[in-house]
């Protein structure tokens, strides 16, 4: 993951502190818009279709209020993560039956991506196991504070 520049994976423009959507589909669309506006993907429709396809295989809501949907396809220009937070929660067929409050939408290019999405998933999963870290993400007052916490994931810290 060191070959990827941290700012390119996630930055202020890829964070939404308060999601508008209340369904899985609305939230994926909302975060996909951020990816599109920031030059991460070239086709919203293709990317959303890939995320839906992946979601139909198995829910990406891993429990603890977290969902990590992801798409690996040709419309992804560069790897990135869009993050969204919902205080009210989103119904997502979560493994623990609870609503999702934090969504990490991973975008990975189809060609030359190798196992980047697996590396991103592993790094996220490791850090998100910690209750204090999850609480910190929910409590972050602004994008800068939240971004600092998220960057610690990709630094391995």
Examine the residue annotation and report whether 117 is marked as an active-site residue of this protein.
no
Domains of the chain: 6-152 (3.40.930.10)
Are the beta carbons of 68 and 129 closer than 8 angstroms?
A: no
Query: Residue 126: what pLDDT?
Result: 85
Residues forming a β-bridge with 66? 63, 102
Cα–Cα distance between 9 and 119 in angstroms, integer? 12
Digit-coded pLDDT (tens) for 25-61: 999 999 999 999 999 999 999 999 999 999 999 999 9
Which residue in the list 7, 70, 101, 130 is annotated as catalytic? 70
> How confident is residue 144, by pLDDT bands cut at 50, 70 and 90?
very high
Digit-coded pLDDT (tens) for 1-29: 344 455 568 899 999 999 999 999 999 99
Q: At what angle do helices 143-154 and 131-139 cross, to 10 degrees?
A: 150
Digit-coded pLDDT (tens) for 64-109: 999 999 998 999 998 899 999 999 999 999 989 999 999 999 998 8
């Amino acid at each position: 993951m060191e070959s990827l520049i941290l700012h390119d994976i996630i930055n202020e423009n890829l964070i939404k502190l308060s999601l508008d959507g209340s369904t899985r589909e609305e939230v994926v669309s909302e975060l996909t818009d951020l990816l599109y506006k920031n030059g991460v993907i070239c086709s919203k429709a293709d990317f959303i279709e890939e995320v839906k396809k992946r979601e139909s295989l198995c829910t990406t809501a891993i429990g603890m209020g977290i969902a990590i949907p992801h798409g690996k396809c040709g419309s992804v220009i560069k790897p990135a993560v869009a993050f969204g937070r919902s205080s009210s929660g989103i119904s997502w067929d979560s493994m623990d039956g609870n609503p999702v409050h934090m969504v990490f939408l991973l975008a990975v290019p189809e060609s030359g991506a190798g196992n980047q999405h697996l590396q991103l998933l592993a790094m996220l999963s490791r850090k998100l196991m910690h209750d204090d870290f999850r609480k910190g993400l929910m409590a972050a007052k602004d994008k800068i504070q939240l971004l600092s916490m998220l960057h610690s994931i990709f630094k391995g810290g």
